[in-house]
Amino acid sequence: MLPVASSVSHVRWNRKSYTARSTERSERVTTEIDPRAFRDAAGQFMTGVTVVTAVDQDGAPIGFTANSFTSVSLDPPMVLFCLGKESDSLPAFGDAGGFAINILSADQQDLSMRFASKGIDRFEGVDWIPGLHHAPVLAGSLAVFECSATHTYDGGDHLIFVGTVERLGAVDHDSPALGYFRGRYTKG
Ligand SMILES: Cc1cc2nc3c(=O)[nH]c(=O)nc-3n(C[C@H](O)[C@H](O)[C@H](O)COP(=O)(O)O)c2cc1C
């Protein structure tokens, strides 16, 4: 297991504190960019699709579909994802000591849709096992990054979660990936 960065802090987050933590710089910047045009432009960037998982304070599994995954650093190994501040899962992710990022394969589109849906038990019928920090590792993922929660940054209407990778799971070099491009799933 790799050493965990010493700057890990277990801050109890709530929506008010995210706003309060906006940086001076982001408060100064105003923009005329139309949100629809911004979404369209961002959609030109093809991504993979992940399901980010953790457990809440009661130990119950939580997870959501994310294409904001990025690898950040090789040494130490670090990755990030962004979560909307209005997300119901935000307080639980803010409190979690770690999380898992499951990279989806082309035949896991149903999982992507399930973990982006409201009002259902997202884990019902899903094949998973608890990993580090009890974060669910989903069967059939192309790769899994099991992380300790290291930093959290304000990112406008999202929070940026940076994790230090403690273990890599289930790297599958052969199966095609699930992709997302112009608001649609792609497979390849
Ligand atoms: C392909 C795809 C990628 C998504 N990526 C993100 C993301 O990176 N960050 C985010 O906050 N929401 C993302 N979403 C939306 C969330 O999955 C969804 O709004 C969230 O699960 C809402 O549930 P919650 O409030 O329980 O978290 C994405 C949805 C889809 C379909």
Q: Which band of pLDDT confidence, cut at 50, 70 and 90, is reported for residue 21?
A: very low
- Protein residue with its CA nearest to atom 9 in ligand 1: 83
Whether residue 72 is contained in a domain is answered as yes
Q: Is 28 within a domain?
A: no
Q: How far apart are CA 134 and CA 11, in angstroms?
A: 19
d(CA 96, CA 64): 14
93 CA → ligand 1 middle, Å: 13
Tell me the H-state helices in the chain. Answer: 15-20, 24-28, 35-42, 90-95, 109-114
Residue 5: pLDDT above 90?
no
Please check whether residue 145 lies inside any domain of the structure: yes
Pull the structure tokens for residue 175. Answer: 């199966």
Give 52-106 pLDDT, tens digit per residue.
999 999 999 999 999 999 999 999 999 999 999 999 999 999 999 999 999 999 9
106: which DSSP letter? Answer: G
pLDDT value for 31: 73
Encode 103-113: b = buried (16+ Cβ within 10 Å), e = exposed.
bbbbebeebbe
Ligand 1 binding pocket, CB closer than 6 Å = 49, 64-68, 82-84, 87-89, 112, 116, 118, 180
Q: CA-to-CA distance for 88 and 73, rounded, in angstroms?
A: 29
Q: Residue 55 is part of which domain span?
A: 48-179
Q: 173 phi and psi, to 5 degrees?
A: -90, -5
Identify whether the C-beta of residue 92 lies closer than 8 Å to the C-beta of residue 85.
no
The residues with which 80 forms a beta bridge, in sequence order, are 70, 162
107 inside domain:
yes
Domain count, the chain: 1
Structural domain contains residue 4 = no
Q: What is the CATH number of the domain that holds 130?
A: 2.30.110.10
Whether the CB-CB separation of 131 and 143 falls below 8 Å is answered with no
Write the pLDDT tens digit of every residue in 41-58: 999 999 999 999 999 999
Let me know if residue 41 belongs to a domain: no
Is 184 within a domain? no
Q: Is 98 part of any domain?
A: yes
pTM of the full predicted structure? 0.88
Ligand 1 centroid to residue 116 C-alpha, Å: 5
Q: In angstroms, what is the span from residue 6 Cα to ligand 1's centroid?
A: 29
The closest of 103, 105, 113, 102 to 178, measured between CA atoms, is: 105
Atom 26 (ligand 1): residue with closest C-alpha?
88
